[in-house]
Structure 1
Amino acid sequence: MNTSNRNRVIVLAITEGGLTQTEAATRFNVSTRWIRILLARYTTGGLLAVDPRSRRPHTNPATTDPDMITAILTLRDDLIEQGLDPGAQSIWDRLPPQSRPSPATIWRILSRHNKITAQPQKRPRTSWHRFQAEAPNQMWQSDFTHWPLSDGTDTEIISWLDDHSRFLLHTSAHPRITGPIVIDTFTTTMDTYGPPASTLTDNGMVYTTRLARGNTGQRNQPNGFEQLLADLSITQKNGKPAHPTTQGKIERFHQTLKQWLTAAGPSTTLDELNTQLNQFTHIYNHERPHRALNRTTPAVAYTALPKAEPTMEAFNQIWRVRHDKVDPDGHATLRYAGKLLHLGIGRAHTGATIIILIHANNTIVINKTTGEIIAEHTIDPTHNYQPKKPTPTHQTGTMT
């Protein structure tokens, strides 16, 4: 007999069966005090009142405030409307730090209000094996994707993403992505952020001809982008055919971009679409914390460490490679031992595009257009200005 039925039987045995309280206590092996409690409950509330009461506390100090629950649900709806990640961690990032519950609590609130869609097909995060470049500019990923205008006209969006920080270096829309556009977007990005040590792309013909063969079965000549990377001593990496997960970061980025563009609404022209892309770049780099970056933004991660640079072999030594332009004062800048130094080049070379080779505390500055060595330095980190050596020891730009 369960407790609810037993309590009712005791009360009925007294009120209807004529047992005394003492007889009922002996018959049902309970105390007379408990008998009096049951009869008092019966008198005020009937048989329902004698059923066992919940032991749950009347109040719970850990209960989330109703206003906070409303704020969480409202914020989730806002993030969905903006095309941004509406998960528990993203909501937590945007709540006031002094009063926000834990991400786990937020997830339970979303689940309780049927805001969570089960995705049993997704792999657990513990099974992921993520590769990440060790420094900014160590590797840039690139790819392009399709996106329609409001009238259905197809466009193609190309993006360059820093592998270490997920910093969005460049994204732009074009009628069609061609080899010259790949080169132009890459060099424009490089002028802003410096050259990467390597690139990672798929095997599209705008990036590489390594899988294209002519009638003779021999590999085709490098395309313009491949030749540019070779000239700049930038290592080119390409994913395995039919394995897009190799470029997983740029693939996932384009999913995030399309989600945001869908929420932002269609553009009528290419210029409008590029304006939207500029808006998204700021949000993605500066406002949207990233799970893989310990909830910091890509902009913070990109500037937290010194940038990697290409390397090349010259004069039987391995040199770091930096690309720059000579400023109006005849100087170029170089970060060395954590300090920004100014290299003396000469006003005669103002505006020249140069390649700076760095090995230990020695530099060689080469005019990129002519190949001529125009300055050499022995770095003294105790001084901001580094004068060039009076006479270069190498008279030509030929390097072996």
Structure 2
Amino acid sequence: MSHANATLTPRTRLRLAQLVVDHGWTYAAAAKMFMVSARTAKKWADRYRAEGPAGMLDRSSRPHSSPTRTRAGLVRRIVRLRWRHRLGPVQIAGRLGMAASTVHAVLTRCQINRLSRIDRVTGEPLRRYEHPHPGSLIHVDVTEFANIPDGGGWRYLGRQQGRRNQEATARRTGQRGRDYRPVIGTAFVHTVIDDHSRTAYAEICTDEKAATAIAVLRRAVVWFAQRGVTVERVLSDNGSAYRSYAWRDACAELAITHRRTRPYRPQTNGKIERFHRTLGDGWAYARPYESTRQRDNALPAWLHFYNHHRAHSAIGGRPPITRLTNLPGHHN
């Protein structure tokens, strides 16, 4: 395919060459008609004589040889430093004694010039996947957030005031741990996210036991069904709740195929891990809350914003809910 600024397309080159070769036009006359130089007209006419219409097609501008190109062994060393140590062009150039611009050119050619394309744990290029339609796969997991003492926590008030608020809360509730330290407690947020649409469902619970996880799954299946989505598969990590017989039986009852990630490979469940980070930034730590109840009450509104209004970069800058309108058979 010709580039955007090409004066002659393959078809126009053929017309020009045929005027010169088959109809006896001069190079200057043919060049004037197509508004190119006589040298260009001669080039295409010569190719037409030698190769016929096939010679009018685009060719690669890559040279036959590149004697100054970076050696293959040096390229492997650059890639190894990038993958294993996540170094930038300047740091790699300093280690190898070469120009940073050369290192950057090698990283770009190998498509690892952006660290976001490299797995943080393994150092290998990311392998992204997406299931074909909503409900084909949902991800489930649990994330934890510390409860907030009366008056607010240390993140916004500082550690000294945060400790005072913890003490005041413990005097009110009577919850004490070892060494008489105040116990504020933990909120277990059970999250469910659809792989195709990124539509999310979440509940705040007091534990992460199997019975709680199963109850959340049942309610999530109903929630998705109300939006026209039938859940077919579920992917979880290897937590005790998801390895239990009760979870296995519940999935069988709901006609859902259960899959687990490989041990010590949270990247496999990366969509929900990334959602947890968004959940923390957008809801849990978004503003100073004066109590756990206030934070809990803010979750439904934030989930509505996430699903219906927040632009998601992985699905073309659209809200997740927009992908639930293109279900198989929806417009039949």
The structure whose residues are more often helix, as a share, is 2
Task: Report which structure shows greater RCO (CA 8 Å, sep ≥6).
Answer: 2
The structure whose residues are more often strand, as a share, is 1
Structure possessing the higher radius of gyration over alpha carbons: 1
